[in-house]
Chain A
Amino acid sequence: MDRLGWAAGFAYRSMGLSIGVRVNHPEFLPLVGACLPPECHPSDDSEVDMLYSLSFSTSQPHDRVRLFNIAYADGGRIARTHVQAEMLAAFTEHVQLNIAAMAKTRTFIHAGAVGWQGQAVIIPASTMQGKSTLVAALVKAGAEYLSDEFAVLDDAGLVHPYPRPISLRCHDLTGSKTLVTAAELGGRIAPKPLPLGLVLLTQFSDEAHWRPRKVTPARAVLDMFANTVSARISPERALQTIRVAAEQADTLRGSRGEAEQVVDWLKRHYGNPAS
């Protein structure tokens, strides 16, 4: 692959990982840079932990032979498509997942996360459980936005902002997604890491009413670990981080109906988000 003629590249660091990117045409570098996940900083590392190679197609729509846009992670192909945006989306997701799995200074839990009264509320859940919908409702109600995809914990149990646009699923047959920012919902991104205060183990269910029950720290650890990206890669470290978080936070479990049930409940039990 090194013989394919890579014209430009750059390196960056994120959470203790060094990642390199190279492209076949230098004019695409800014485009690639804009696709990087939060907390990526340029670096001058000559050796990297992971190398991405992006081959952009310069074919025109009327060309008889149309080249593919192809993305590789190290030696493996991660996308091959005529649509440039699709390759970039696949690249972004791959980088994001790699950082989440291999990060040396943070533990990534698949969860929504917001700030409520100076403390983080996280909602660990697998995909399609209504996590982003609940995060959006909380942000609309005045909560500070941390993330709709990953609760990023450090060793002290602080939850760091990881503010990607919130990805809301459309209520149509396609199941496609629309992206909205916290600002578009009338909210704002948390300016600093927040101590974990509350863990909500919940999923949307049509006829459910939010009546949460407290769970023990061990059950809280079990559920958070079941949503931890690095669970199989560095279990000792992940468990220790989650333990710190579980010991300092309350963990509640229950099915919910509409997201507003949880918003109202939080206001009743914990007061308004910013007061």
Chain B
Amino acid sequence: MNTYPKATGNLVRLDLADETVLYNKETHQTHSLNATAALIWKHCDGQTGFDKLVDLLPSKLTGTQSRDVVEYTLHHLANKGLLDQASLVDATMTRRNAIKRAALVGFGIALPVVVSALAPTPAQAASLLATGANCTSGSECNSGICESLKCT
């Protein structure tokens, strides 16, 4: 497979043991990568080819299984916006993912998992506004009622 996946720029990266947390400054999405996803993502430097990524996985997997894991993981990472799509030149990368995910069970490694959350604005990360405060919708108000852009 002629693919040299490359991580997208503008990500803040935090490594915790074998896991990784990524924050995208443009989309404000935060992603938690488990060990398998993190291992592959860390090597997506635009220089490491698909076959080398396959070699990173535990040797107890067969060649086909390893390729399936890497293919699924790259697809998963790309869907989350963590890979430069232009580097994924192989069209087969997006096929049969659901089937492959199911087929990974029993391989003896953790399924690649990426969990995402949206980082809040300051106002979203606080309790609701008091009566009299300026607001834009009832969801911001303690009372739940926004009248003329003011909590009532």
A interface vs B, CB < 8 Å? 77-81, 83, 86-87, 89-90, 92-94, 96-98, 100-101, 108-110, 126-128, 149, 167, 174-177, 216-219, 221-223, 225-233, 235-236, 239-240, 243, 246-247
**Contact A228–B119 (Cβ < 8 Å):** yes
- Quick check: is B143 within 8 A (CB to CB) of the other chain? yes
Given A90-B133, A127-B127: A219 and B14 interface contact (C-beta under 8 Å): no
**When the two chains form the complex, which single residue of A223, A232, A246 contacts B121, counting CB atoms closer than 8 Å?**
A232
B59-88 interface (Cβ within 8 A of A): none
Complex Cα spacing A118 to B150, Å: 42
10 contacts between A and B (CB under 8 A): A93-B129, A97-B123, A97-B126, A110-B125, A217-B19, A221-B16, A225-B30, A228-B120, A232-B122, A240-B14
List B contacts of A233 (CB < 8 A).
122
B interface vs A, CB < 8 Å? 12, 14, 16-17, 19-21, 23, 25, 28, 30-34, 115, 117-134, 142-144, 150
List B contacts of A167 (CB < 8 A).
127
Complex Cα spacing A195 to B115, Å: 28
**When the two chains form the complex, which single residue of A81, A177, A230 contacts B122, counting CB atoms closer than 8 Å?**
A230
Complex Cα spacing A128 to B128, Å: 9
List B contacts of A83 (CB < 8 A).
131-132
**Contact B12–A80 (Cβ < 8 Å):** no
Complex Cα spacing A78 to B129, Å: 11
**Contact A87–B19 (Cβ < 8 Å):** no
Complex Cα spacing A185 to B118, Å: 36
Complex Cα spacing A83 to B150, Å: 13
List A contacts of B34 (CB < 8 A).
216, 218
**When the two chains form the complex, which single residue of B118, B134, B142, B144 contacts A177, counting CB atoms closer than 8 Å?**
B142
**When the two chains form the complex, which single residue of B21, B118, B128 contacts A218, counting CB atoms closer than 8 Å?**
B21
List A contacts of B118 (CB < 8 A).
226
Given A217-B19, A218-B21, A226-B30: A77 and B134 interface contact (C-beta under 8 Å): yes
Contacts beyond the supplied A83-B132, A216-B19, A235-B23: 14 A-B pairs with Cβ under 8 Å: A79-B132, A86-B133, A87-B132, A92-B130, A93-B129, A97-B123, A218-B21, A219-B32, A226-B120, A228-B125, A232-B120, A235-B119, A243-B14, A247-B16
Complex Cα spacing A189 to B13, Å: 36
A-B contact count (CB 8 A): 138
Given A86-B132, A93-B133: A243 and B16 interface contact (C-beta under 8 Å): yes
List B contacts of A79 (CB < 8 A).
132-134
Closest B residue by C-beta to A227: B125
List A contacts of B25 (CB < 8 A).
235
List B contacts of A93 (CB < 8 A).
126, 129-130, 133
List A contacts of B14 (CB < 8 A).
221, 239-240, 243
**Contact A175–B133 (Cβ < 8 Å):** no
Complex Cα spacing A103 to B59, Å: 48
Distance from B81 Cβ to chain A, minimum over Cβ atoms (Å) = 16
List A contacts of B12 (CB < 8 A).
235-236, 239
**Contact A231–B33 (Cβ < 8 Å):** no
Complex Cα spacing A83 to B151, Å: 13
**When the two chains form the complex, which single residue of A90, A177, A227, A247 contacts B120, counting CB atoms closer than 8 Å?**
A227
Distance from B105 Cβ to chain A, minimum over Cβ atoms (Å) = 19
Complex Cα spacing A100 to B125, Å: 10
Given A218-B20, A232-B120: A90 and B125 interface contact (C-beta under 8 Å): no
Complex Cα spacing A201 to B22, Å: 20
**Contact B32–A222 (Cβ < 8 Å):** yes
Distance from A179 Cβ to chain B, minimum over Cβ atoms (Å) = 12
**Contact B117–A222 (Cβ < 8 Å):** yes
**Contact B132–A175 (Cβ < 8 Å):** no
